[in-house]
């Protein structure tokens, strides 16, 4: 880039740096404060500054720890499930259909994603219920004689809800990586006599890993901190981390809510750091950064 | 490529589409149905127009959408320009995209605790802040994409013709990016209009249309009126997306 464009002055720094700094502070300061509050003591209707590990101790020894383990397990198992759908979709729209159709398809994919996922979860509850469309269909075709009970308020419903909520969003990073692959590499592999499957495993898949990992983090984050889907589709008493945090907040147990939230955010930042460590952001956002 | 193979590809993609679009239908079905007789009715929609709390919530939703629709694209524009001009590109991008990687509840709880500690009581302002931070990564990515297709040689040309940096930006670059800015604005409005969890944590006594449905669900369960409200939200969102699409077409021309 030329020097004239890159030249900076105080006004520019203030005009651009001010808002950016404000946003950065608005994102980071609350997270740090939450970490701080997690070490505070609980008072009857609030909190008191101090340094104690009581909240963490209660968290790790009580029933809330089971919720953490369950959330971790659900996130860990639902993420591959989402990838198993998102990757083929991204692959098909990148390589198997016309570029003009790819754009249209990506657009169609984002439409339901933009409708509030809480509303979509309500809709799934309606579809999966005893008198819902799915059960009606199963009985009409004769696949089932009586309404199937495990469709709603079950693990099945949770996983279905999570996949429906977060899978569409995961297609984008994978598509970004796949679209960035130099097609000549695939042709070279073909010319060197590799069969399509091996070309995929040894060329396409490794090159798409940055997108796959970004997508995996999106899915994991969504499932780990889930509030709405667990409550709507999981049934009475089913909790994931998001529910545990909001219920601690409902009883005004701020240090506990802060401790649980900090653990969740800590896990996410760890994943994010690993991702940034292994993959260059510029590799992934290269197009957008104009390189 | 054989036609059977093509058919299989389209069948897979169509199946995914059915899976994603199916949940948009049940609220419509429930909203237009009389719960006792099962016949077609518009009563549920009439009922929601006379609900005072809901009308207040709707007013809040619209106000928030306007605030977020203006604030997020402008902040994103500043950030995108900062990415071009400043040296710490990586850090700016990582921090601004952070809300994408943090669960909504955590972001909401952190903001709520922050506001509580600083002594800001829940208001439209707190809700707007939380929603703007959530819309920002999306607006930022949209503007970065648009900006990357702008050739900075145009700016050089403007400088050569004697314009200063401000003029060059206003007269040369901004017009080329205006579609992207509008796109980011509509996207932000849609995100603001469809946000529940983050907003619910900092709402205090205020409601948006979304938090209204959520609290009704938690207190008394869903009624046909709520389905009518959801249908309205779905339809408005689809209309906004159509506006986005129209914008894209205009851009192509």
Would an 8 Å CB–CB cutoff place A43 in contact with chain B? no
Residue A31 tokens read as 């997270």
Q: What is residue B34's predicted lDDT score, i.e. its pLDDT?
A: 81
Tell me, yes or no, whether A213 and A246 share the same domain. Answer: yes
Q: Are A5 and B160 in contact (CB under 8 A)?
A: no
Would an 8 Å CB–CB cutoff place A86 in contact with chain B? no
Cα(A27)–Cα(B110) distance, integer angstroms: 9
Dmax (CA) of chain A: 76
Instruction: Flag whether A240 is in a domain.
Output: yes
ipTM of model: 0.85
What are the strands, taking DSSP E only, across chain A?
Answer: 41-43, 46-48
Q: Are B12 and A88 in contact (CB under 8 A)?
A: yes
Tell me, yes or no, whether A12 and A94 share the same domain. Answer: no
Instruction: Flag whether A49 is in a domain.
Output: no
Tell me, yes or no, whether A215 and A137 share the same domain. Answer: yes
Ranges of residues in chain A whose predicted pLDDT is under 70: 1-9, 281-291
CATH of domain B41-252: 1.10.3720.10
Tell me, yes or no, whether A1 and A95 share the same domain. Answer: no
At a CB cut-off of 8 Å and minimum separation 6, what does A62 contact? none
Tell me, yes or no, whether A11 and A136 share the same domain. Answer: no
Q: What is residue B19's predicted lDDT score, i.e. its pLDDT?
A: 92
Q: Which among A113, A122, A217 is the nearest to B101, CB-wise?
A: A217
> In which residue are the tokens 């409902």 written?
A250
Q: Are A204 and A186 in contact (CB under 8 A)?
A: yes
Cα(A98)–Cα(A111) distance, integer angstroms: 20
- Candidates A62, A41, A59, A38; CA nearest to A259 is A38
Tell me, yes or no, whether A166 and A246 share the same domain. Answer: yes
Q: Which among B81, B86, B145 is the nearest to A288, CB-wise?
A: B145
Q: What are phi and psi of B213, to 5 degrees?
A: -60, -45
Q: What is residue A2's predicted lDDT score, i.e. its pLDDT?
A: 42
Sketch the domain layout of chain B as residue ranges: 41-252
Would an 8 Å CB–CB cutoff place A28 in contact with chain B? yes
The number of residues in chain B equals 253
Tell me, yes or no, whether A86 and A199 share the same domain. Answer: yes
Test mutation, A236, A288, A289, A291, chain B, max B CBs within 10 A: A288
Q: For residue A46, what are the β-bridge partners? A: A43
Q: Do A126 and B17 touch (CB under 8 A)?
A: no
Tell me, yes or no, whether A23 and A131 share the same domain. Answer: no
Q: What is residue A144's predicted lDDT score, i.e. its pLDDT?
A: 80
Count of CB contacts below 8 A, A vs B?
236
Q: Are A255 and A89 in contact (CB under 8 A)?
A: no
Instruction: Flag whether A46 is in a domain.
Output: no
Q: What is residue A11's predicted lDDT score, i.e. its pLDDT?
A: 75
Cα(A232)–Cα(B40) distance, integer angstroms: 27
What residues make up the domain containing A207? 54-288
CATH code, A145: 1.10.3720.10
Sort out which chain B residues have CB atoms less than 8 A from A176's CB and list them: none
Query: Smallest CA–CA separation between B184 and chain A, in Å?
Result: 13
Tell me, yes or no, whether A72 and A105 share the same domain. Answer: yes
Q: What is residue A8's predicted lDDT score, i.e. its pLDDT?
A: 53
Q: Do A30 and B196 touch (CB under 8 A)?
A: no
Tell me, yes or no, whether A29 and A60 share the same domain. Answer: no
Tell me, yes or no, whether A116 and A207 share the same domain. Answer: yes
Number of domains into which chain A is organized? 2
Q: What is residue A145's predicted lDDT score, i.e. its pLDDT?
A: 81
Ranges of residues in chain B whose predicted pLDDT is under 50: none
Query: Smallest CA–CA separation between B13 and chain A, in Å?
Result: 7
The pTM of the full predicted model, rounded to 2 decimals, is 0.86
The pLDDT tens digits for B160-182 are 888 888 888 888 888 888 888 98
Q: What is residue B152's predicted lDDT score, i.e. its pLDDT?
A: 80
Instruction: Flag whether A48 is in a domain.
Output: no
Using CB atoms within 10 Å of the CB of residue A289, give its burial: 0 to 12 exposed, 13 to 18 middle, 19+ buried. middle
Tell me, yes or no, whether A9 and A124 share the same domain. Answer: no
């Amino acid at each position: 880039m030329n020097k004239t464009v890159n030249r900076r002055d105080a006004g520019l720094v203030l005009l651009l740096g001010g808002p950016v700094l404000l946003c950065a502070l608005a994102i980071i300061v609350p997270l740090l404060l939450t970490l701080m509050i997690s070490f505070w003591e609980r008072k009857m209707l609030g909190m008191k500054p101090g340094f104690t590990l009581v909240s963490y101790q209660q968290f790790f020894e009580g029933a809330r720890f089971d919720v953490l383990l369950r959330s971790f397990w659900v996130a860990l198992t639902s993420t591959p499930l989402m990838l198993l759908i998102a990757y083929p979709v991204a692959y098909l729209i990148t390589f198997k259909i016309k570029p003009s159709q790819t754009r249209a398809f990506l657009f169609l994919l984002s439409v339901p994603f933009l409708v509030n996922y809480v509303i979509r979860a309500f809709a799934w509850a309606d579809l999966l219920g005893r008198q819902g469309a799915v059960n009606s269909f199963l009985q009409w075709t004769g696949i089932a004689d009586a309404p199937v009970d495990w469709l709603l308020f079950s693990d099945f419903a949770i996983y279905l809800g999570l996949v429906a909520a977060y899978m569409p969003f995961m297609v984008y990073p994978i598509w970004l990586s796949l679209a960035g692959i130099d097609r000549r590499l695939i042709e070279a592999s073909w010319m060197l006599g590799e069969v399509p499957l091996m070309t995929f495993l040894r060329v396409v898949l490794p090159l798409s890993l940055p997108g796959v990992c970004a997508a995996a983090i999106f899915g994991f984050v969504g499932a780990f901190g889930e509030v709405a889907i667990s409550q709507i589709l999981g049934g009475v008493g089913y909790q994931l981390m998001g529910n545990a945090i909001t219920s601690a907040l409902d009883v005004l147990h701020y240090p506990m809510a802060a401790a649980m939230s900090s653990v969740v955010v800590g896990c996410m930042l760890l994943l994010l750091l690993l991702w940034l460590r292994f993959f260059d952001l510029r590799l992934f956002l290269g197009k957008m950064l104009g390189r | 490529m054989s036609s059977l193979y093509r058919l299989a590809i389209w069948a897979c993609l169509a199946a995914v589409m059915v899976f994603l679009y199916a949940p948009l239908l049940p609220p419509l079905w429930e909203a237009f149905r009389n719960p006792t007789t099962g016949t077609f009715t518009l009563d549920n929609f009439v009922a929601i127009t006379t609900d005072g709390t809901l009308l207040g919530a709707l007013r809040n939703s619209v106000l928030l959408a306007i605030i977020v629709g203006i604030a997020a694209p402008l902040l994103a524009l500043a950030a995108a320009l900062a990415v071009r001009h400043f040296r710490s590109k990586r850090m700016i991008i990582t921090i601004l995209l952070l809300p994408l990687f943090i669960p909504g509840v955590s972001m909401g709880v952190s903001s709520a605790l922050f506001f509580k500690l600083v002594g800001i009581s829940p208001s439209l302002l707190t809700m707007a802040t939380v929603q703007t931070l959530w819309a920002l990564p999306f607006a930022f990515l949209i503007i970065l994409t648009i900006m990357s297709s702008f050739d900075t040689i145009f700016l050089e040309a403007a400088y050569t013709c004697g314009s200063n940096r401000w003029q060059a930006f206003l007269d040369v670059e901004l017009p080329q990016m205006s579609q992207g800015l509008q796109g980011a604005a509509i996207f932000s409005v849609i995100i603001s209009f469809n946000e529940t969890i983050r907003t619910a944590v900092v709402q205090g006594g205020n409601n948006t249309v979304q938090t209204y449905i959520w609290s009704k669900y938690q207190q008394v369960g869903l009624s046909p009126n709520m389905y009518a409200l959801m249908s309205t939200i779905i339809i408005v969102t689809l209309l906004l997306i159509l506006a986005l699409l129209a914008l894209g077409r205009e851009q192509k021309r």
